[in-house]
Structure 1
């Protein structure tokens, strides 16, 4: 990696540990390369983060911004895990109240980059006014971002005409390669709400860049630090499932994607309410774990396990991401 200027990188995740922990892992990886980190969240969330390794402590500054008090939001509720799902809108209102304190922090600390989540829609204009570079770090896979469509529909010369739940049960017309990525009807009736590597989803990564007219920089899969691919065959499926569950909550899209990759098989659900039948679960498990027809799935799962455990490969992605920030920051 070229000897470029050391960076000051701020990270600002949404108030959910499924977002904060991947952001924190990315912060540690960037700090390992000698760059200064400001990890920004609220006091109680900062206290609940994993301990910073001693060798990285001088480089990582944990910045606590008090969460504004909001009616209907319980006291000391600072993350989605603290509240029932129907109170999440109040947490979002409180999160939006961090706009002022965050702006003040940027004025006094002047980071080179801010890595932000999906929630602060008000952040890009602030960064533009202050001359700070920003990058959106998606918890969702490129297949989900592609399915949801373009923020610049003129780029693909068509409007997103999907209005009914049934419209989301087939792949959208702008996916130019064969794919089964779509919602089941029971999933499409729910409210919709990148981290990836080219070895897993290069077609979708390229498509995201085309749809949104933005550069897409994969940062690897950020596997758990203790995942080394050395577990026995008996727990291989559980290990991969645990890792996938930590990646994102793409509803049924992740099931379709990994079904296409033959890493697993989707259990048949009731099309209307999404419920599982005991017989379908048993049949799918028997096919994957025992039957001759499931041999291809078992072999693909072994390949996926090696991909997730390839630390050198994921480190190269982080190196490339850091180089991108060094070479493309606002002058």
Structure 2
């Protein structure tokens, strides 16, 4: 543990999405384990829903609740993106922007050394600078995603990319050949990141402003996985860039036994080793009715055993409920399970009977699966999932289910063929082997420790001068 005078106080302000808060909390635990104090800021219900830090770290991690102001069209109680259908998330951004004053008051009264903030609070950097607090843009995007977003000028109001088609090509600042770009249907679904939303600020502008104002850029990446992208980021940003590692979750067995897990485990125990396809699309992605029907029929056609965690609604404001095809569950009984509530995903992925994971390509899920060497079958929905999928595809770690380029539609045949390819066929052996090869890289605690230390050492050495004076340390 660090000497007391060396210890930092770091405030963390992630975006209101569990796919963002979870890696922030993983990093918070790693830093707290080295004696540093963390103030973790989020909306009250999010704090209540996040897994609590282990008892030995709890005294060093303060969970700070910042109530969201009411905003027209934002349903009451909606405090995370998983509470909302996609078209309502813009109002969550509007509410989040109204936290500027409470965040400024908190920073002023608690006087941390540094604040680590996400892409959304583009206003956090200027507040920190005014208060003499160091600022870190900690983006949960991987190197390829951040590299595709590009330099500040490209995201902050430049005319370089105007149409959806412009985002389907590798940008001009990437000097090496790569598949990393959006497919047309992927960018069309989220084109409001470019054109704007009810908050009045585009996501692209937010990221550009955050990059411009911060002192340090940190991202969820490692040289073992994407060295060329990290080198590019150091070239295009005139400030320190630190990968923080993959932030793989801890031991699944540490989560304890529950009745839910005992029931799931009983079914998994009865399946052959490596035979089961685990299907889950995260907390913020939901297939359309047409997509759901084709995925279900594809799973049925594949003949493979599967365990499917199916989310049919995104929060109480989601009026578009989706339904499985008539008779589907009866026809797959014994071979397939459809589960409609929370599951211990880590425990499932760790189980020997699971061989592959049909996933949306969210990086949290990819890292969890790869930490157990599970092969990935990719079906993207929103956000940066498409860019994640391209790097997984490029590395032959994940196989994308073929879809219509313009609208993203899929056929049951392509679902079934993709599943069989990755799970059992000789042609897909490369995906199974490369995924297994990722296990020692993604799950290596020594590698993770090194990245955490590198960032912390920099933050200690470069803490703002007023903090050095106030803590009585020699400058």
TM-score by length of 2: 0.64
What is the match of residue 327 of structure 2? none
What is the CA-CA distance between 1:283 and the residue it aligns to?
A: 2.3
1:235 to 346, 354, 364: 354
Moved more, 109-118 or 76-85: 76-85
What is the match of residue 176 of structure 2? 177
What is the CA-CA distance between 1:244 and the residue it aligns to?
A: 3.9
What is the CA-CA distance between 1:89 and the residue it aligns to?
A: 1.9
Q: What are the superposed Cα offsets for residues 76-103 of structure 1, whole Å, 9 maximum, x if unpaired?
A: 2222222332222221121111111111
- Judged with a 3 Å threshold, the aligned counterparts in structure 2 of structure 1 residues 227 and 21 are, in CA distance, closer, same or farther, namely same
What is the match of residue 189 of structure 1? 188
What is the CA-CA distance between 1:8 and the residue it aligns to?
A: 0.5
The structure with more radius of gyration: 2
- Which protein is richer in strand relative to its size? 2
Counterparts of residues 216-295 of structure 1 (less than 5 Å): 216-226=241-251, 231=350, 234-238=353-357, 244-246=363-365, 249-295=383-429
SS in 2 for 1:181: coil
Cα distance between partner residues in 2 of 1:100 and 1:187: 35
Listed as ranges, the gaps of 5+ residues in structure 1 are: 154-158
What is the CA-CA distance between 1:117 and the residue it aligns to?
A: 0.6
Cα distance between partner residues in 1 of 2:73 and 2:350: 46
- Given the alignment of the two structures, is residue 125 of structure 1 paired with residue 126 of structure 2, yes or no? yes
Counterparts of residues 101-120 of structure 1 (less than 5 Å): 101-120=102-121
What is the match of residue 224 of structure 2? 199
Q: What are the superposed Cα offsets for residues 263-304 of structure 1, whole Å, 9 maximum, x if unpaired?
A: 122221111111112222222223323333323222211111
Cα distance between partner residues in 2 of 1:306 and 1:211: 30
Question: Are the equivalent residues in 2 in contact too, given 1:18–1:246 (CA < 8 A)?
Answer: no
Question: Are the equivalent residues in 1 in contact too, given 2:361–2:389 (CA < 8 A)?
Answer: no
Cα-Cα RMSD: 2.5
Cα distance between partner residues in 1 of 2:251 and 2:362: 11
Cα distance between partner residues in 1 of 2:459 and 2:105: 23
SS in 1 for 2:135: strand
Moved more, 265-274 or 284-293: 284-293
Question: Are the equivalent residues in 2 in contact too, given 1:240–1:305 (CA < 8 A)?
Answer: no
- Judged with a 3 Å threshold, the aligned counterparts in structure 2 of structure 1 residues 214 and 152 are, in CA distance, closer, same or farther, namely farther
Q: What are the superposed Cα offsets for residues 119-149 of structure 1, whole Å, 9 maximum, x if unpaired?
A: 1111111111111001011111111111122
SS in 2 for 1:144: helix
Q: What are the superposed Cα offsets for residues 134-172 of structure 1, whole Å, 9 maximum, x if unpaired?
A: 10111111111111221046xxxxx76322222222211
Cα distance between partner residues in 1 of 2:96 and 2:365: 23
Listed as ranges, the gaps of 5+ residues in structure 2 are: 194-202, 204-218, 254-345, 368-382, 466-475
SS in 1 for 2:108: helix
- Judged with a 3 Å threshold, the aligned counterparts in structure 2 of structure 1 residues 244 and 17 are, in CA distance, closer, same or farther, namely closer
Question: Are the equivalent residues in 1 in contact too, given 2:23–2:364 (CA < 8 A)?
Answer: no
Q: What are the superposed Cα offsets for residues 229-264 of structure 1, whole Å, 9 maximum, x if unpaired?
A: 994665243399888453695232222111110112
TM-score by length of 1: 0.90
Between Structure 1 and Structure 2, how many residues are aligned?
Answer: 326
Cα distance between partner residues in 2 of 1:237 and 1:289: 6
- Judged with a 3 Å threshold, the aligned counterparts in structure 2 of structure 1 residues 58 and 2 are, in CA distance, closer, same or farther, namely closer
- Judged with a 3 Å threshold, the aligned counterparts in structure 2 of structure 1 residues 241 and 227 are, in CA distance, closer, same or farther, namely farther
Moved more, 216-225 or 309-318: 309-318
Moved more, 170-179 or 31-40: 170-179
Cα distance between partner residues in 2 of 1:24 and 1:232: 25
What is the match of residue 35 of structure 1? 36
Cα distance between partner residues in 1 of 2:77 and 2:39: 23
Question: Are the equivalent residues in 2 in contact too, given 1:227–1:309 (CA < 8 A)?
Answer: no
What is the match of residue 156 of structure 1? none
What is the match of residue 9 of structure 1? 10
SS in 1 for 2:410: coil
